[in-house]
């Protein structure tokens, strides 16, 4: 039994190795416990989807949206229609999503080997969806490209978004790519996707050999895919400071625009859990502007 804030939790299999480098579940719980002060504000009132790796990152993974019966009774949840964002999912299915609002909830999730935490670009209030408050561009490097190429696209996005009065923030995906966020004000659930798509299509038209706005994998060779569809209300994106189920315990890490502009090698923007904990002690939470500095969505 361990204390997590005001709660007492029973943890299990803390010595179980979840990453090839030997990182154990106990170390994962320790990471999430230490990063909680930065992570929790960005999860607040956002339904969380887990990606669980009970047998490690090379074992079978599965997405979990529904809060099962084993969840602690004190865990807040919200019942929402699923939206049917995944093939085969009934759009009318009612899903009871967990809300991760406190340290104990984060520790509980980590004990389930929920390495990845994914959230939508909107929050809930009293069981109802609010309009989107985040805009996101998910930059995915196609074959023959890396996060370095994503950085060059992100620089262009920075210019467009700032010219439109938004305050963009960059974060690594913790995998291969890069994301560019901005805090927004809008009353339309569909407006962020339309705005992001228009920019992505314009980039593709300007530099068709470098960028694609099309999801088809055949179009991605040698190009960065600007995934504007992450703004669809039915979709989710990896949360900042979440671990990823990769060969190493890499983390989706907010970065400065100077780091984006000077990136010339992928390893410059690859951060493990230990590195992130050391990093935030110096730079603080670079993702704060997304939640605190919101501007009207253009158009």
Which helix (DSSP H) or strand (DSSP E) does residue 159 occupy?
helix 147-163
Q: How far apart are CA 189 and CA 169, in angstroms?
A: 21
For the segment 141-162, what is each residue's pLDDT rounded down to a tens digit?
999 999 999 999 999 999 999 9
DSSP letter, residue 195: H
* pLDDT value of residue 261: 98
For the segment 174-233, what is each residue's pLDDT rounded down to a tens digit?
999 999 999 999 999 999 999 999 999 999 999 999 999 998 887 889 999 999 999 999
Q: How far apart are CA 104 and CA 233, in angstroms?
A: 28
Query: What is the end-to-end Cα distance of the chain in Å, rounded?
Result: 53
In this predicted structure, the answer to whether residue 88 has a pLDDT above a threshold of 50 is no
Model's pTM, two decimal places? 0.95
For the segment 242-294, what is each residue's pLDDT rounded down to a tens digit?
999 999 999 999 999 999 999 999 999 999 999 999 999 999 999 999 999 99
* pLDDT value of residue 90: 56
Q: How far apart are CA 18 and CA 11, in angstroms?
A: 15
Task: Using DSSP bridges, classify how beta strands 295-296 and 178-185 pair: parallel, antiparallel or unpaired.
Answer: parallel
Cβ atoms of residues 233 and 104 within 8 Å? no
Task: For the chain, give the percent of residues with pLDDT over 70.
Answer: 97
Average pLDDT, integer, range 85-96: 66
Average pLDDT, integer, range 70-76: 94
Q: How far apart are CA 118 and CA 192, in angstroms?
A: 18
Which helix (DSSP H) or strand (DSSP E) does residue 180 occupy?
strand 178-185
In this predicted structure, the answer to whether residue 63 has a pLDDT above a threshold of 60 is yes
Task: For the chain, give the percent of residues with pLDDT over 90.
Answer: 89
Name the residue among 128, 132, 130 with its Cα closest to residue 294.
132
* pLDDT value of residue 218: 78
| Domains of the chain, earliest start first | 2-129 (3.90.920.10), 134-296 (3.30.70.3300)
Q: How far apart are CA 126 and CA 124, in angstroms?
A: 7
In this predicted structure, the answer to whether residue 35 has a pLDDT above a threshold of 90 is yes
Residue-wise DSSP of 26-60: HHHHHHHHHHHHHHHHHHTT---EEEE-TT-TTS-
Mean pLDDT of the chain: 95
């Amino acid at each position: 039994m361990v204390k997590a804030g005001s709660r007492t939790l029973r943890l299990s299999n803390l010595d179980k190795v979840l990453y090839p480098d030997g990182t154990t579940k106990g170390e994962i719980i320790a990471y999430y416990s230490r990063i909680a002060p930065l992570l929790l504000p960005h999860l607040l009132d956002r339904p969380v989807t887990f990606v669980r790796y009970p047998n490690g990152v090379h074992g079978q993974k599965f997405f979990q949206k529904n809060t099962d019966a084993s969840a602690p009774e004190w865990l807040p949840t919200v019942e929402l229609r699923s939206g049917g964002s995944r093939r085969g999912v009934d759009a009318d299915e009612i899903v009871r999503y967990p809300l991760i609002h406190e340290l104990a909830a984060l520790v509980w999730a980590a004990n389930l080997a929920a390495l990845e935490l994914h959230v939508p670009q909107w929050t809930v209030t009293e069981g109802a969806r609010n309009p989107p408050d985040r805009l996101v561009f998910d930059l995915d490097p196609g074959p023959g490209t890396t996060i370095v190429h994503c950085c060059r696209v992100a620089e262009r996005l920075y210019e467009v978004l700032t010219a439109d009065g938004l305050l963009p923030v960059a974060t690594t995906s913790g995998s291969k790519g890069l994301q560019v966020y901005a805090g927004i004000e809008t009353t339309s659930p569909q407006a962020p996707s339309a705005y992001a798509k228009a920019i992505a299509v314009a980039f593709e038209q300007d530099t068709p050999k470098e960028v694609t706005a099309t999801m088809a994998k055949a179009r991605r060779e040698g190009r960065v895919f600007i995934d504007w569809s992450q703004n669809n209300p039915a979709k989710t994106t990896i949360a900042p400071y979440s671990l990823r189920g990769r060969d190493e315990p890499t983390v989706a890490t907010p970065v400065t625009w100077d780091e984006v502009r000077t990136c010339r090698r992928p390893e410059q923007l690859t951060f493990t859990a230990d590195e992130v904990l050391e990093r935030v002690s110096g730079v603080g939470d670079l993702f704060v502007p997304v939640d605190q500095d919101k501007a009207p969505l253009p158009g």
